[in-house]
Structure 1
Amino acid sequence: MNRAFDDGARRIVGRAQQQAHALGHRGIGCEHLLFAVAESPDPAGAVLREHGLTPAHVTAQTRRLLSGTATLFDSLDGDALATLGIDLQIVRQTVEATFGPEALRPARLSPRRRWYHRRRPRRPGRHLPVTGRAQRCLDAAVHEAKRAGSTAVDATALAVAVVTADGGLVPRIVHTTGVPAEALRTAILRRARRAG
């Protein structure tokens, strides 16, 4: 990690690597960074916990989303569709009654391709690579710190970059709390201004 990160941000990234190891993942993703921010004692971590993004919640949602038990309906906004007169529960029941209870589950890998995606435990001390999306998140944290007039990325800039990440698991995990990412961003920045 370069010198642009302060000690708090470095601790968060280090904890994200430990979480990726603990889950048996091959790289550090944005979901691991979200876990580490939620666990941190910094004001940004307190904001996430107050809004339901506890470390346990992030871990449970990460496991659920990666295990294949998530369905198509998990990413849809039920309230918005209800305003159009669409009840997701009725749609889900109709689809499952017509096509079977497994119809909405994601397809599983064929046995031929499964060997590549098998989770291999890594030795705890080994460095894990950062995924492309997580690298973009870290780059966004650098830009967020510059926007705030800071020379180093702190936990606040990293938290803002993580909760506003687009794509991957983080938006889906944040969505489960019912709090929009922009509202979290605003709350994190407000708390940082009060604390500092």
Structure 2
Amino acid sequence: MFERFTASARGTVVRAQEEAADAGDHHVGTEHVVVALAQDDGVAGAVLRDAGVTAESLRRWLRQVPADDESSGRLDADALQSIGIDLDDVRRRVEETFGAGALDDVPDRTGGRRWGRHKHIPFTGRAKKSLERGLRQAIMLGDTRIGSEHLLLGVLDEGSGLGIRMLRDVGVDLAQLRATAVERSRRSA
């Protein structure tokens, strides 16, 4: 499928992985895809910017709002504290037993991938689903290539990831965003 992506869409996927790495996440979620789309020079980026969305405003939102395990995998330290689990204490105990940095990412025994800025970070199920839905959107619109606008429509179609929650919380009218993306996609074809 990746070979059908435009340069803009490929750049979005790469930027999404970079966003995840920069955030210290071990996955690429719909939230990372949306932040990457906000940086796009193509249709998706223009549509998001016209809706008042910037990559920095989305990053700020991500830093302020704890995510649930299904959408990002990050733990909410306050929620765990409320049930008597202190993450700092857990880290200290693990490091006492297994050594400093035992919870940090390391290569597996076979020399497999290590998470980092230039390494592959896996996509969550929702992010994969949004990419697949982007392909469907391209087909429905009669396009032979998958552009950034199709990726945006795919995220909107997936409809339940952190990317959608983030867009709603920053005040985006999702129905209007979809309509604008479809209209501009047809104009750019």
Q: TM-score, normalised by structure 1?
A: 0.71
In the TM superposition, 1:168-187 aligns within 5 A as 168-187=161-180
Count matched residues.
Answer: 159
The match for 2:120 is 127
Of 76, 79, 84, the match for 1:107: 79
The match for 2:71 is none
Give SS of 1:66's match. coil
Partner Cα separation in structure 2 for residue 123 and residue 27 of structure 1: 11
Give SS of 1:152's match. coil
The match for 2:22 is 22
The match for 1:145 is 138
Partner Cα separation in structure 2 for residue 18 and residue 172 of structure 1: 21
Structure 1 residues 132 and 67, CA gap change in structure 2 (3 angstroms): closer
In the TM superposition, 1:1-196 aligns within 5 A as 2-66=2-66, 107-108=79-80, 110-111=85-86, 120=105, 122-196=115-189
Q: Following TM superposition, by how much is the alpha carbon of 1:63 offset from its aligned partner in structure 2, in angstroms?
A: 1.8
Structure 1 residues 33 and 119, CA gap change in structure 2 (3 angstroms): farther
- Which ranges of structure 2 fall in alignment gaps of 5 or more residues? 69-76, 95-102, 107-114
Partner Cα separation in structure 2 for residue 195 and residue 46 of structure 1: 12
The match for 2:74 is none
Partner Cα separation in structure 2 for residue 56 and residue 193 of structure 1: 28
8 Å CA contact 1:164–1:171 kept in 2: the answer is no
- Which ranges of structure 1 fall in alignment gaps of 5 or more residues? 69-104
The match for 1:72 is none
Calculate the aligned-residue CA RMSD, in Å: 2.7
Q: Following TM superposition, by how much is the alpha carbon of 1:67 offset from its aligned partner in structure 2, in angstroms?
A: 6.7
Q: TM-score, normalised by structure 2?
A: 0.73
8 Å CA contact 2:9–2:148 kept in 1: the answer is yes
Percent identity over paired residues: 30
8 Å CA contact 2:130–2:154 kept in 1: the answer is yes
Q: Following TM superposition, by how much is the alpha carbon of 1:119 offset from its aligned partner in structure 2, in angstroms?
A: 7.2
Structure 1 residues 13 and 114, CA gap change in structure 2 (3 angstroms): farther
